[in-house]
Amino acid sequence: MAAASDAAQLKAAREDIRELLNTTHCHPILVRLGWHDSGTYDKNINDWPERGGANGSLRFDVELKHGANAGLVNALKLMQPIKDKYPSITYADLFQLASATAIEEAGGPKIPMKYGRVDVTGPEQCPPEGKLPDAGPSAPADHLRLVFYRMGLDDKEIVALSGAHTLGRSRPERSGWGKPETKYTKNGPGAPGGQSWTAEWLKFDNSYFKEIKEKRDQDLLVLPTDAALFEDPAFKVYAEKYAADEEAFFKDYAEAHAKLSSLGAKFDPAE
């Protein structure tokens, strides 16, 4: 029996994704696409696909219309021609391949990925809305733990994964957060506007932690869930470490990203 995805097509698709990143600077939205497909996982549910996770369900309109997924239809539009070109790759694998490749191409660590995720077959298998984190809850640290612990992730992984906000911008018309534009975003690259967490928002490094710690620049975004990383005592241990040591951040981030990318997935072959 054939595996869920063809290895040669995965390798070829990765080159096409690299080309897409170089021409459209879509690193942030591809990272978000992978995360939002896998981040619906509930470790308390055993059955696939009811448990959510990295299963390609985000390709269906019913899930794309969830509030947390505003704007991700644009990521799907970027991915669909690659999916059409390489039909022997599952959507679940393609979304995670795109996310990991975007991190690496932005200067981030090599992610120890594995492939073979099986796709759900229809929109009735999409998870219910409300599984993804919210940017401005009343108790940000508690909210992050509620969502990420449900996925089986711990405090270290929460803080490391938050560091991916070193990439990208928040757009008020999508999320309700951030300024319409800043000196860092008014000229793009890509569509201008939004508010970034870092000055170089297409470069993956540890500047997110440095900027949140300093809070010196009014043009950079700090959400309540970002500020919580330095306010909560357990989170702060890791946030301080990553602000001081980029190598430590890259190591922990790569491991956490790989774990997130496999949450809830059914692999074929199983290994």
Half-sphere exposure of 266 (CA within 13 A, CB side): 13
The single residue of 27, 36, 66, 257 carrying the catalytic annotation is 36
d(CA 69, CA 87): 25
Question: Which contiguous run of DSSP H or E holds residue 13?
Answer: helix 7-24
Dihedral sign for Cα 193, 197, 199, 201, please.
negative
Look up 36 and say whether it is catalytic: yes
DSSP output for 137-179: -SSHHHHHHHHHHHTT--HHHHHHHHGGGGS-EE-HHHHS-S-
- Partners of 170 in beta bridges: 195
The residues that are catalytic are 36
